[in-house]
Amino acid sequence: MAPGEKHEILHHYLAALAYRTQKALRGAPPGFGSFEAGHGIRPPHEIVKHMSDVLNHACQCFGDERGRLEPLPTFEEEIARFHDILESLGEHLAAGKTPDEDTPPAGASLERLLQGPFADAMTHAGQLAMLRRMAGSPVAPESFMAAAIDRANLTANQPKPVKPLER
């Protein structure tokens, strides 16, 4: 892989994470942030906070000291913080930075960021979509391969589906 390609791929992965997270959240019913599925499953507000936590940890691997994240009072604020952290990670990747090997955890690398916090956050984006269905408001299907995912856009303002699918 040529220098910088890993950074570009991971940056695109973060853009896919932003897109899929907003896909799961866009049009959610009022009160979705506090939806309780039962059986100890975290509500969406806590899931987005956890996604921010793991991505904040990834930022720390680049020497970006943000400290421990405290819960925010509203679901909307948690979502905004999540996207702010994604944008910080995107800036590190766009600048070609690599994790600081001297910053805990020892041995941090781009590959380990993918297998750890990035994959964890993507798993939770899927969990948010599943909770939407459980809350009685399923996410409309689409072809994600056709989605207009752009690594320059890690914000909450994601494009509408390019190729919606029928249920």
Could you tell me if residue 106 is inside a domain?
yes
In a domain, 157, yes or no: no
Is 35 inside a domain boundary? no
Tell me, what's the pLDDT at 103? 66
Could you tell me the residue range of the domain that residue 71 belongs to? 5-26+40-146
The whole-angstrom separation of Cα 38 and Cα 53 is 23
* Across 133-150, average pLDDT: 96
**Within a domain: residue 161?**
no
Whether 164 is in a domain gets the answer: no
**CA-based radius of gyration for the chain:** 16
160 in a structural domain: no
As for how many domains the chain has, the answer is 1
Reading the block at residue 142, the tokens are 């689409």
For residue 109, being part of any structural domain is answered with yes
Read off the pLDDT of residues 74-133 as tens digits, 9 standing for 90 and up. Answer: 999 999 999 999 999 999 999 999 997 766 666 789 999 999 999 999 999 999 999 999
Q: What is the CATH number of the domain that holds 99?
A: 1.20.120
Which residues, 6+ apart, have CB-to-CB distance to 149 below 8 Å? 12, 15, 16, 19
In-domain check, residue 165: no
